[in-house]
Amino acid sequence: MIQITVVKVNKPNIAQKGTITVEKTEKTGEVFSGVNVSGSEDSDGRALAGARLEYKNRFANEKCAIVIKDKSEEVGRKNAMKDEKSKITAVAIEKMIDFYQGNLRDIEHFLKVWAYAKTIGEQESVDENTQGILELAAVVHDISCPLCREKYGNTNGKNQELESEPLVKEFFEGMPVSEQKVERIIWLVTHHHTYTNIDGIDYQILIEADFLVNASESNFSKVSIENAKSRIFKTAAGCRLLESIFLREE
**Using one digit for the tens of pLDDT, what is the confidence trace for 55-74?**
444 444 433 444 444 445 55
Look at residue 229 and tell me whether its pLDDT is greater than 90.
Answer: yes
Quote the distance between the C-alpha of residue 36 and its chain's center.
37
Nearest to residue 116, comparing CAs of 141, 135, 102?
135
Average pLDDT, the chain: 80
What is the band of 76 on the pLDDT scale with cuts at 50, 70, 90?
A: low
Percent of the chain at pLDDT exceeding 70: 67
What is the average per-residue pLDDT within 205-229?
Answer: 97
The domain limits of the chain are: 2-69, 75-246
pLDDT digits (tens, 9 = 90+) for 8-36: 444 433 334 444 444 444 444 444 444 45
End-to-end C-alpha distance for the chain, whole angstroms:
72
The reported pLDDT for the residue numbered 183 is 98
The reported pLDDT for the residue numbered 48 is 47
The reported pLDDT for the residue numbered 4 is 46
Q: How far is CA 216 from CA 109, 112, 143, 209, 213, in A?
A: 10, 11, 20, 11, 5
Contact 106, 177 (CB under 8 A): no
Q: Which fold has domain 75-246?
A: Hypothetical protein af1432 (1.10.3210)
The reported pLDDT for the residue numbered 242 is 98
What is the average per-residue pLDDT within 143-160?
Answer: 97
pLDDT digits (tens, 9 = 90+) for 236-249: 999 999 999 999 98
What is the band of 222 on the pLDDT scale with cuts at 50, 70, 90?
A: very high
Beta bridge partners of 64: 2, 51
The reported pLDDT for the residue numbered 69 is 45
The reported pLDDT for the residue numbered 74 is 53
Look at residue 52 and tell me whether its pLDDT is greater than 90.
Answer: no
Look at residue 119 and tell me whether its pLDDT is greater than 80.
Answer: yes
> Residue 22: in which H helix or E strand, if any?
strand 18-24
What is the band of 234 on the pLDDT scale with cuts at 50, 70, 90?
A: very high
Look at residue 201 and tell me whether its pLDDT is greater than 60.
Answer: yes
> Three-class SS of residue 37?
strand
Query: 33 or 216: whose pLDDT is higher?
Result: 216
Contact 80, 20 (CB under 8 A): no
The reported pLDDT for the residue numbered 85 is 80
